[in-house]
Amino acid sequence: MDIAEFARRIPKAELHLHLEGTLEPELKLALAHRNNIPLTETTAEEVRDTYTFTDLSSFLAVYYPSMEVLQTEDDFFDLAMAYLNRASAQGVRHVEMFFDPQSHTSRGVQFSTVIRGYRRALITARRSFAIQGELIMCFLRDMDPSFAMATLMEALPHRDWIIGVGLDSDERGNPPAKFAAVMARARAEGFLVTVHCDIDQQDSAEHIRQAIHELQVDRIDHGTNIVEDRRLLREAKSRGLGLTVCPLSNGFVSDAMKTDEIMQLFDAGLLVSINSDDPAYFGGYIGDNYAALAKAADLTREQLTRFARNSFESSWLSPRIRDHFL
């Protein structure tokens, strides 16, 4: 078995995956057809051609309008099932999946429609594909914190199905501290907390500092710019904070995969895991991300095994179940 095959097969947890980022061109077309939504593109190739971007804003400008095809509970179910099927084929045994309720409720789709579809997929996939998972509700940081708070309130009847909350979308001018009150309330309601600290943002280290000190996060999504601040790095390590990095995504929203930074953090002993972010848009699922980093950093099987182990160690599984995977 070559290293790429090993990378795809090794049992792993996925901790940084946006369900809405798993919308493959073929499914987008099928859902548009089913819901009578006109699209300018008529073939999967044409849709794929629109999936091109050079930075985060040009990505988000394609990403949000694509979601229009997601309308019914079955649509959300089909989206999540397609992902869970593929993830299972690339070694994922446990997944903590982000979803963006505001990107649906803001266009008239009910919160309960979204979560019912995703929840049913998780139950079905556990039986069909031997993969289990949890949902993490993300707030859109480029919208007002009062909308995030209202969304948190709307989620409370579904709290048993949401393990934690996250913060995503456009980070420019939207630091973690802006959402400190929402995140404090979420924590008081029993949710775990994670926050995107995207690569190469302005004030990256300051955003990471706010996430750790002011939001008391349980994990950080991306966060590779922590290499710039030795004190923060030491603190993240001593707190056992996981960093969920996404090599292929990095290559799209920046000019590089950030191999050196990822390996520096990994070698320093932080709980760095490899993840896919938005696999339908960034050219690969999680195993492909393991394989891409293995190639770029010339990783050994032992190192890949350590990355996979990190993914379970920094997951939000209960210790008893986590131990079963380690």
The CA distance from 326 to 321, in Å, is 9
**75 interacts with, out of Zn ion, ligand ES4, none, CB within 5 to 8 A per kind:** none
Burial class from Cβ neighbours inside 10 Å (0-12, 13-18, 19+) for residue 191 reads: buried
Which amino acid, 248? L
Comparing CB distances to Zn ion, the nearer of 14 and 277 is 277
Q: From the CB of 33, what's the least distance to Zn ion, in Å?
A: 29
Q: Is 94 annotated as a binding residue?
A: no
Binding pattern for the stretch 63-102 against ligand ES4, x by CB under 6 A and - elsewhere: ----------------------------------------
Residues in contact with 33: Cβ distance below 8 Å, sequence separation at least 6, in sequence order: none
Which amino acid, 229? D
- Under the binding rule (CB under 6 A), the answer on residue 137 touching ligand ES4 is no
Comparing CB distances to Zn ion, the nearer of 32 and 136 is 136
Binding pattern for the stretch 51-70 against ligand ES4, x by CB under 6 A and - elsewhere: -----x--------------
Which amino acid, 11? P
Strand partners, 12: 92
Q: From the CB of 98, what's the least distance to Zn ion, in Å?
A: 7
Contact of 93 with 132, CB cutoff 8 Å: yes
Q: Is 16 annotated as a binding residue?
A: yes
Q: From the CB of 136, what's the least distance to ligand ES4, in Å?
A: 12
- Under the binding rule (CB under 6 A), the answer on residue 278 touching ligand ES4 is yes
**198 interacts with, out of ligand ES4, Zn ion, none, CB within 5 to 8 A per kind:** ligand ES4
- Under the binding rule (CB under 6 A), the answer on residue 14 touching ligand ES4 is no
Which of these, 188, 91, 92, 104, lies nearest to 138 by C-alpha position?
104
Q: Is 277 annotated as a binding residue?
A: yes
Q: Helix (H, G, I), strand (E, B), or coil: what is residue 135?
A: strand
Map the footprint of ligand ES4 across residues 152-171, applying CB under 6 A.
168-169
**21 interacts with, out of ligand ES4, Zn ion, none, CB within 5 to 8 A per kind:** ligand ES4
Within 10 angstroms of residue 211's Cβ, the number of other Cβ atoms is 29
The CA distance from 113 to 145, in Å, is 23
Q: From the CB of 74, what's the least distance to Zn ion, in Å?
A: 25
Which of these, 188, 232, 243, lies nearest to 210 by C-alpha position?
232
Q: Helix (H, G, I), strand (E, B), or coil: what is residue 263?
A: helix
Q: Is 324 annotated as a binding residue?
A: no
Residue from 73, 96, 277, 288 binding ligand ES4 (CB under 6 A): 277
**309 interacts with, out of ligand ES4, Zn ion, none, CB within 5 to 8 A per kind:** none
Comparing CB distances to ligand ES4, the nearer of 97 and 304 is 97
| Beta strand 132-140 pairing with 12-14 | unpaired
Question: Considering CB under 6 A, how many residues would be counted as binding ligand ES4?
Answer: 11
Contact of 43 with 81, CB cutoff 8 Å: no
Q: From the CB of 111, what's the least distance to ligand ES4, in Å?
A: 18
Which of these, 326, 257, 244, 243, lies nearest to 293 by C-alpha position?
257
- Under the binding rule (CB under 6 A), the answer on residue 249 touching ligand ES4 is yes
**73 interacts with, out of ligand ES4, Zn ion, none, CB within 5 to 8 A per kind:** none
The CA distance from 146 to 236, in Å, is 29
| Beta strand 242-245 pairing with 164-168 | unpaired
Q: Is 2 annotated as a binding residue?
A: no
The CA distance from 311 to 326, in Å, is 10
Residues tagged in the binding site annotation: 16, 18, 196, 277-278
Residues tagged in the binding site annotation for substrate: 278
Which residues bind to ligand ES4, rule: CB under 6 A?
Answer: 18, 21, 56, 168-169, 196, 198, 249, 253, 277-278
